[in-house]
Copies of this chain bind each other. A is one copy, B any other.
Amino acid sequence: MPGAINQVDGGTITTARGFRSGGTYAGIKTYSDDKMDVGMLLSDTPCAAAGVFTRSSIVSPSVTVNRETLAGGHAIRGLVVNSGIANAGLGEQGYIDAKEMAVLASAAMGVKPEEVLVFSTGIIGVELPMTLIKSGVDETTLSETGGNELARAMMTTDTHPKEVGVTVDIGGTDVHIGGVAKGSGMIHPNMATMLCFVATDAAIDQGLLRTMLPEVADYSLNMLTIDGDSSTNDSLVVLANGAAGNATITAGTPEAEAFKAGLLECCVQLTRKLARDGEGATHLLVVEVTGARTSEDARTAARTIASSLLVKSAVYGADPNWGRLLAALGRSQAEAVEEKIDLFINGVCIMEAGKPIPFHRDAVVALMRGDEVTFRIALNLGDADATAWGCDLTEEYVVINSAYTT
C-alpha cells in the first residue's frame, strides 16, 4: 500500500541498499573487548545530503567543516566518526584536524575529501590523535552488514548501540531508511551531543531533503532532552543514494509526504532509544501536550516538563507528584489556563479542568514503576500537539558526570 511503513527486524543504517559501513578500535577510548572508536559509512554512488547541526554559538570545527562541505555543492559519498574526543575548544588546530580527518577517511574509502562528512564526540579540549585516526580509518573494513559496527564506534557513555531500519512504499517501490545514533548525556532540544546518521536508498531531490529534515528534527530529535545541555558537536545527517530505483521524490507530492513519514518514524524510534539510554536512566519519560493554541506552545511545554529536574526526580521515585508538572508547565510560558487543564499519568486522569481528582495512589505508583512513564497534559485551548522524550534523573547520572574526565 502506498505510504505503508514497515519495521525491519534488526534494522540499522546498512538496511539502506548500496551503503557499507564498519568500525574499529583505534585506541582513542579506554579499551574494552567490545569497544570501537572509529567508524565510517560509504555509499556506492553519490548521495543527496542534508544536515541539521547544533545551534550553539560555540561549535566544534567538525561541524563547521560539515556545514562548508554541505554548502559546497559536492555530492556526498560517506562519513567518518570518532568517539572519545569531541575536537572542540582547541582553537585553530581543531579545524585543521577536522579537515585532515576528511582527507584520511576519503583516502581510505577511495573518494574525495569534499565528499566526506566528519564527526567527533567525546571530551572537549583534547586534541584529536591524528595518527590513531589514520590507523583507525585504514583498518576499518566496510561491509553491507556493518551498521552495527558504526553504531558501536559512535558510542561514548551509551550503554548499547542505537539502530533502526524501516521500509516505506514509495509508488510501489519499497525504499529503505536506516539509522544509527548515539547519546547519552548533554542531550537537549536543538541537537545536544547527539550524533544521528540516517541513510536511505530512496531517490529524492536534495532541495526537498534539506527542507524536510529540519521539520522532521523538530518533531523527533529536537524533542529529546536528557539533561538540558546542548553540545558543540550535535548533528543529524541524512544521505540518500537512490539505489532503490524509485522515481525521484519531489516536493508537494504524496511520495514526499510518505517519505517524510518514514523518515520521521525512523528518527522518532532513534529518539526513544536515546531517551531510554540517557545517562543513568531507569525510565523512559514521554510527555504529550495536546490542545495547545500553537505548535510552538505545545513543543515548549512538552520540552520544559520533560527537562524539569523535579519532574525527572519524581519519575525516578515513581512519585505521582503532579504539582511539579503544573509548575514546569507554568514556567514554560506556553499559554495555559489552569481551569482547563486535564492531567494523565500513564492514562490515569489525575486532574480534570484544573481540579485534582482522587486517584488510587498505589495503582499509579505501580504504573510508574514500569519501564515507561507517560504524562499527558491536555491544555484544551486549541489543536496543536507535541511529544517530548526524556528520562528520569538518578543518582547514577550524578556519579557518571561528576567524574567523567578523572
Chain A interface (Cβ within 8 Å of chain B)? 54-59, 86, 88-91, 123-125, 185-186, 188, 190, 227-232, 307-310, 313-314, 316-317, 319-324, 326-336, 338-339, 351, 353-356, 393-395, 397-406
Chain B residues, CB < 8 A from A332: 57
Docked pose: A95 CA to B329 CA in angstroms = 20
Task: Let me know if B57 and A317 touch, CB within 8 A.
Answer: no
Task: Let me know if B228 and A124 touch, CB within 8 A.
Answer: no
Docked pose: A86 CA to B356 CA in angstroms = 14
Known contacts A125-B323, A319-B406; A310 and B227 CB within 8 A of each other: yes
Task: Let me know if B334 and A404 touch, CB within 8 A.
Answer: no
Chain B residues, CB < 8 A from A355: 90-91
Known contacts A57-B330, A57-B336, A328-B229; A398 and B394 CB within 8 A of each other: yes
Task: Let me know if A403 and B88 touch, CB within 8 A.
Answer: no
Chain B residues, CB < 8 A from A185: 310
Docked pose: A125 CA to B229 CA in angstroms = 30
Chain B residues, CB < 8 A from A309: 227-229, 309, 397, 401
Chain B residues, CB < 8 A from A404: 314, 317, 319, 321
- Closest B residue, CB atoms, query A402: B317
Q: Which 5 interchain pairs have the tightest Cβ spacing?
A: A124-B323, A317-B402, A58-B330, A56-B330, A313-B401
Docked pose: A335 CA to B185 CA in angstroms = 25
Chain B residues, CB < 8 A from A394: 398
- 7 A-B pairs, CB-CB below 8 angstroms? A57-B330, A58-B338, A89-B338, A123-B321, A125-B322, A186-B310, A190-B331
Docked pose: A329 CA to B56 CA in angstroms = 8
- Closest B residue, CB atoms, query A227: B309
Name the distance in Å between A351's Cβ and chain B's nearest Cβ. Answer: 8
Docked pose: A373 CA to B275 CA in angstroms = 31
Name the distance in Å between A312's Cβ and chain B's nearest Cβ. Answer: 9
Known contacts A124-B323, A331-B230; A401 and B89 CB within 8 A of each other: no
Task: Let me know if B229 and A327 touch, CB within 8 A.
Answer: yes
Name the distance in Å between A75's Cβ and chain B's nearest Cβ. Answer: 31
Chain B residues, CB < 8 A from A319: 402-406
Chain B residues, CB < 8 A from A308: 228-229
Docked pose: A356 CA to B94 CA in angstroms = 12
Among A123, A321, A329, A353: residue with most chain B CB under 10 A: A321
Docked pose: A230 CA to B310 CA in angstroms = 10
Chain B residues, CB < 8 A from A59: 330
Docked pose: A393 CA to B339 CA in angstroms = 35
Name the distance in Å between A401's Cβ and chain B's nearest Cβ. Answer: 3
Name the distance in Å between A278's Cβ and chain B's nearest Cβ. Answer: 11
Docked pose: A132 CA to B28 CA in angstroms = 63
Docked pose: A309 CA to B124 CA in angstroms = 16
Docked pose: A397 CA to B326 CA in angstroms = 20
Task: Let me know if A330 and B405 touch, CB within 8 A.
Answer: no
Name the distance in Å between A269's Cβ and chain B's nearest Cβ. Answer: 26
Chain B residues, CB < 8 A from A55: 331, 333
Task: Let me know if A327 and B124 touch, CB within 8 A.
Answer: yes
Docked pose: A351 CA to B88 CA in angstroms = 13
